[in-house]
Amino acid sequence: MTNSLLRGPSGSLASSASSPSTSGRYPAVITRARATPRGLGVSGPAALLACNVACSGRPAARRVASVVTRSIADGHDAERLKDCDVLQLETFLQAIRERNQGPSQAPGEVFLVGTGPGDPGLLTLRAAQLMATADVVLYDRLVSDEILQLVGPSARMVYVGKTAGYHTRRQEEIHELLLAFAEAGALVVRLKGGDPYVFGRGGEEVGYLAAHGIRVHCVPGITAAAGICAELGIPLTHRGVATSARFLTGHSREGGEEALDEAVALAADPHTTLIVYMGLSNLAKLASQLVGAGLDPATPAVAVERGTTPGRRVVYGSVAELHELAGRAGLRTPTLIMIGEASRVHGQTHKSARWRMHATDAHSCAP
């Protein structure tokens, strides 16, 4: 397939290879503001009108713009929607289509890429390679700004982050965006904090895209449990202390409360290290359930906010008091919770470990 010409942001013409999976960085079709990676967008009736004008007759563009304008109409914060300039969407998608024109034209590919717990040094080499060559990058709230700086300058950035009680995108909308960009022939990278298949809804996105004929690849990331425990010097398993580790979500989808309660009860095992993701808001209930299921209230526990990043904050305590201590320290999401006797290994190895205190100078070691 021959090279095609793409018009850069300054209006000049530049040459770009046609294969998104083998070429280097493409010339910028749509620029982005590196200094404010989550702060560009337009909203209101003008955006709706622009969608109708720019995207008529283009199925992929109409799908993208439809998701964007629905998000605006639902009252989402336009300042965090970088893809809201719908006048640019058709230009971008058309450039991608022109680049891929030819007898062997096929949909693009989607890569679900785990970015690890936050420290850019824990990013995999494959993840960095894909970020440098992507056409489109959809990224979550948990992907740090330091990691976003590694995205190639020509990539179109789309923020699809979620936090408790507030979603800039419903999961169904994220599915539609991934499909639309892939159908246009783009190399699409979906950045996720941690690992895509550990409470990352990666399986749902793979299933949706595969059902629509899109090839999807998963690039694993260091999940928060492994990265943060390594940083703190806490082993997930330890001979004679913890013979297993269990990962648990701290909240359930609507209607799944009973199943989650059963899972918590089964996790009350003194020989298991329990790692709870997204559990800060339900920490009091979680502790009560574990103690009610037979776990010793004095079992050591740790809560870590933004582990492996410069903003890390750590609270040590027992399972019975951790909620109070975390509240007193003002911990906020994302916070990982670790419960189990293996947490004492940190205290035994590092005599300065301070239980029942808020600490920010935890011991570090590379995983």
* Cα distance between residue 148 and residue 120, in whole Å: 9
306's CB contacts (< 8 A; 6+ apart) are: 118, 312, 313, 334, 335
Torsions phi, psi for 106 (to 5 deg): -145, 160
Q: Running DSSP on this structure, what letter comes out for residue 78?
A: G
Q: Give the angle subtended at the CA of 20 by the CAs of 70 and 212, to the nearest 5°.
A: 50
Q: Looking at 77, 261, 269, 278, which residue is catalytic?
A: 278
* Cα distance between residue 182 and residue 76, in whole Å: 25
Residue 267's nearest CA partner among 237, 245, 252 is 245
Our answer to whether residue 278 is catalytic in this structure is yes
Question: Other CB atoms closer than 10 Å to residue 68's CB: what's the count?
Answer: 30
One-letter amino acid at 324 equals: E
Q: Looking at 77, 162, 269, 285, which residue is catalytic?
A: 162
* Cα distance between residue 64 and residue 82, in whole Å: 13
Token pair in block for residue 155: 């990539």
β-bridge pairing 272-277 and 313-318:
unpaired
Cα–Cα distance list, 306 to 120, 143, 163, 309 (Å) = 13, 11, 14, 6
The string of DSSP letters for 276-331 reads EES-GGGHHHHHHHHHHTT--TT-EEEEEESTTSTT-EEEEEETTTHHHHHHHHT-
Our answer to whether residue 1 is catalytic in this structure is no
Our answer to whether residue 338 is catalytic in this structure is no
Helix extents (H) in the chain: 45-54, 59-73, 86-99, 125-133, 145-148, 171-183, 202-211, 224-232, 257-266, 283-292, 322-329, 343-349
Token pair in block for residue 334: 């994302």
Q: Looking at 83, 135, 140, 195, which residue is catalytic?
A: 140
Angle subtended by helix axes 283-292 and 257-266, to nearest 10: 50
Supply the residues annotated as catalytic: 140, 162, 278
